[in-house]
């Protein structure tokens, strides 16, 4: 059982002491450490305080604050949208709920393999985006091409670092394939990857189809995580030319 943080009333530093979790009978050490990390994670605490469904909401906030792709009127596809934190962030930014009548109203489609609790202003569907014809279904729901395709998907952890890396790269590649099919010219693709060496082919394909590709580790990502996000902007279509003098990749420090 977790102990409540003890307030520092001495005035030295004025901070709460770290929450410690006792190892209950039958609880694995890994579970204890995970729970302890969750209880002391400032982004987890902030998500609860601000009503977001997970700490991942702050990752897409940081990415959009820097690259400005969630703009009023944008048509957005969120792949693997559960639990809905990215949808919560996107709705007011693209004005898909029409809350600001002075701005263009966007539209956002969330896709997942499981039912997701509704998010006001977002349209959520249960769909395997890798199924045949999924691209046409998505464009039908959107009423046209997308301006943004984003993905925070991660395969279930196997406990083997290289296997997990390959699995998430495969997911990202599949998400990129859908993006190539549904994005409008000039569109943006945002997806989570794990650093590990197998993402070279994906980076090459993105750089040949987008004007600019950046690799970023948001501050909201845990320091001990190998995750990073690729932000590809200026979609040129599948027939994009190979890298030219103006093409480059920005690599933000991890």
In degrees rounded to 5, what are phi and psi of residue 165? -60, -50
d(CA 162, CA 195): 10
Is residue 152 part of an annotated ligand binding site? Answer: yes
Flag whether 34 is marked binding.
Answer: no
Q: How far is CA 175 from the centre of its chain?
A: 12
Using CA of residue 124, residue 101, residue 151, residue 87, what is the dihedral sign? Answer: negative
192 is catalytic: yes
Contact (CB, 8 A) for 253 and 239:
no
Q: What are phi and psi of 205, to 5 degrees?
A: -65, -40
Catalytic option among 22, 59, 66, 192: 192
Q: Binding residue per annotation — 112?
A: yes
The closest alpha carbon to 60, from 110, 97, 123, belongs to: 110
- Residue 54 per-residue DSSP state: S
Annotated binding residues: 84, 86, 112, 128, 152
Query: Which residues does the annotation mark as catalytic?
Result: 192
């Amino acid at each position: 059982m977790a102990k409540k943080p003890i307030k520092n009333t001495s005035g030295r530093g004025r901070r709460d002491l770290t929450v410690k979790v006792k190892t209950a009978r039958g609880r694995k050490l890994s579970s204890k450490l995970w729970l302890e990390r969750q209880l002391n994670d400032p982004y987890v605490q902030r998500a609860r305080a601000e009503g977001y469904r997970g700490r991942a909401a702050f990752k897409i906030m940081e990415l959009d604050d820097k690259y400005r792709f969630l703009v009023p009127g944008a048509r957005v596809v969120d792949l693997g949208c559960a639990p809905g934190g990215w949808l919560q962030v996107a709705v007011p930014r693209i004005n898909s709920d029409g809350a600001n009548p002075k701005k263009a109203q966007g539209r956002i489609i969330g896709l997942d393999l499981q039912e997701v609790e509704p998010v006001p202003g977002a349209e959520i569907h249960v769909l395997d985006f890798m199924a045949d014809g999924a691209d046409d279904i998505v464009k039908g729901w959107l009423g046209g091409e997308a301006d943004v395709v984003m993905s925070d998907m991660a395969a279930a952890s196997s406990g083997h670092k290289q296997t997990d890396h390959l699995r998430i790269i495969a997911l990202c590649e599949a998400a990129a394939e859908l993006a190539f099919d549904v994005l409008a010219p000039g569109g943006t693709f945002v997806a989570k990857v794990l650093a590990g060496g197998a993402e070279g082919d994906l980076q090459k394909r993105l750089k040949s189809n987008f004007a600019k590709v950046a690799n970023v580790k948001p501050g909201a990502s845990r320091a001990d995580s190998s995750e990073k996000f690729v932000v590809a902007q200026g979609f040129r279509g599948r027939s994009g030319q190979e890298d030219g003098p103006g093409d480059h990749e920005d690599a933000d420090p991890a």
